């Protein structure tokens, strides 16, 4: 499979006609049909139903079309960004982030960064914490904002804050009858939903370790891929879910209570490569310190930059 075959397939899927797609691509129809056929042979599935008029995509074809659009869009962005950097038109800063930070400090940080460095091309890539370290070392991202502490000697990790945790419970359940903080031990014998399901280790392991330290034994643990799915299941009364306090705004149809107890926090960690002296990393640290000084987050501690690293 190559990018040319992807572009050919996307053109056919859009036009729903081989002849029009060939005209748009400025090639003859036979080689276009042949490339689509080779693509199907490589994938081992049929992508297009050719007997219908206009042609239709199979279920596999629709999935491949959606994925191909994303891949080709990313390639176009990469090409444009590389060209801009090569022509000294602007610099690129790639930030990997865990989804929960979208409901906390990441959006205002990016807004401040765009204001202070308008020449900067900021690229945001959702990566869970365990994926960020290899992405940093491979140069795919410049900064990672995650939730897992690590001991990798090639990556500097700075704890920005220890964020308080809350438990999301179904509305109308016995646990939703109060607004006061809830002891972790009160979750014993509950159905608990954790995320992400994989890869591990992840935030899910932090939650399970917290329950274990407080001798909490859930009657059932359900693992799901995303925080959105977990909170949707809570709304459907399938269980309870422990999330960072900043993510409470995600859904209004569940009840949230702060957790109290030793270790009922989750770190927010800024990671970057050892020896990376980029002025933009220094700027990011400065802006984060300013943000927390202006609006202290709900946490037990925050902004612990070592001396000289702001």
Q: What is the pLDDT of residue 89?
A: 56
Measure the CA–CA gap between 308 and 304, rounded to whole angstroms.
Answer: 11
Structure tokens of 287? 């802006």
Give the domain 3-84 fold: Arc Repressor Mutant, subunit A (1.10.10)
Give residue limits of the domains in the chain. 3-84, 92-154+270-294, 161-266
Contact predicate 136/276, CB 8 Å: no
Q: What is the pLDDT of residue 168?
A: 97
Q: Which of 270, 279, 271, 267 lies closest to 136 in space, CA to CA?
A: 271
Q: What is the pLDDT of residue 80?
A: 72
Q: What is the pLDDT of residue 250?
A: 85
Measure the CA–CA gap between 125 and 13, rounded to whole angstroms.
Answer: 28
Q: Which of 112, 71, 67 lies closest to 93 in space, CA to CA?
A: 112
92-154+270-294: in CATH 3.40.30.10:
no
Give the domain 161-266 fold: D-Maltodextrin-Binding Protein; domain 2 (3.40.190)
Q: What is the pLDDT of residue 84?
A: 65
Sign for the pseudo-dihedral over CA of 71, 73, 77, 79? positive
Give the phi and the psi of residue 220 in degrees, each rounded to 5.
-160, 145
Strand partners, 170: 254
Q: What is the pLDDT of residue 44?
A: 94
Q: Tell me whether domains 92-154+270-294 and 161-266 share a fold.
A: yes
Per-residue pLDDT tens over the stretch 105-126: 899 999 999 999 988 889 999 9
Q: What is the pLDDT of residue 306?
A: 45
**Residue ranges in the chain whose pLDDT is less than 50:** 299-301, 304-310
């Amino acid at each position: 499979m190559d990018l040319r075959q992807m572009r050919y397939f996307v053109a056919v899927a859009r036009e729903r006609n081989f002849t029009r797609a060939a005209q748009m691509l400025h090639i003859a129809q036979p080689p276009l049909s042949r490339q689509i056929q080779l693509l199907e042979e490589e994938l081992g599935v049929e992508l297009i139903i050719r007997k219908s008029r206009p042609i239709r995509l199979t279920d596999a074809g629709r999935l491949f079309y959606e994925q191909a659009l994303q891949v080709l869009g990313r390639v176009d962005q990469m090409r444009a960004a590389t060209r801009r950097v090569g022509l000294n038109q602007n610099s690129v800063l790639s930030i990997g982030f865990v989804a929960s930070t979208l409901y906390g400090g990441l959006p205002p940080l990016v807004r401040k960064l765009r204001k202070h460095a308008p020449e900067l091309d900021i690229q945001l890539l959702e990566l869970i914490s365990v994926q960020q370290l290899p992405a940093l070392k491979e140069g795919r991202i410049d900064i990672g904002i995650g939730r897992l502490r690590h001991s990798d000697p090639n990556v500097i990790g700075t704890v920005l804050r220890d964020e308080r945790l809350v438990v999301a419970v179904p509305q109308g359940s016995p646990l939703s009858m109060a607004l006061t903080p809830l002891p972790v031990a009160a979750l014993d014998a509950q159905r608990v939903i954790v995320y992400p399901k994989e890869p591990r280790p992840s935030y899910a392991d932090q939650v399970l370790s917290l329950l274990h330290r407080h001798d909490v034994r859930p009657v059932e643990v359900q693992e799901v891929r995303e925080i959105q799915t977990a909170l949707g299941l809570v709304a459907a009364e399938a269980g309870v879910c422990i999330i960072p306090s900043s993510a409470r705004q995600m859904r209004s149809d569940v009840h949230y209570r702060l957790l109290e107890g030793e270790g009922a926090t989750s770190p927010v960690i800024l990671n970057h490569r050892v020896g990376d002296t980029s002025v933009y990393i220094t700027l990011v640290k400065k802006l984060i310190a300013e943000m927390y000084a202006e609006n202290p987050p709900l946490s037990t501690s925050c902004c612990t930059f070592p001396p000289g690293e702001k």
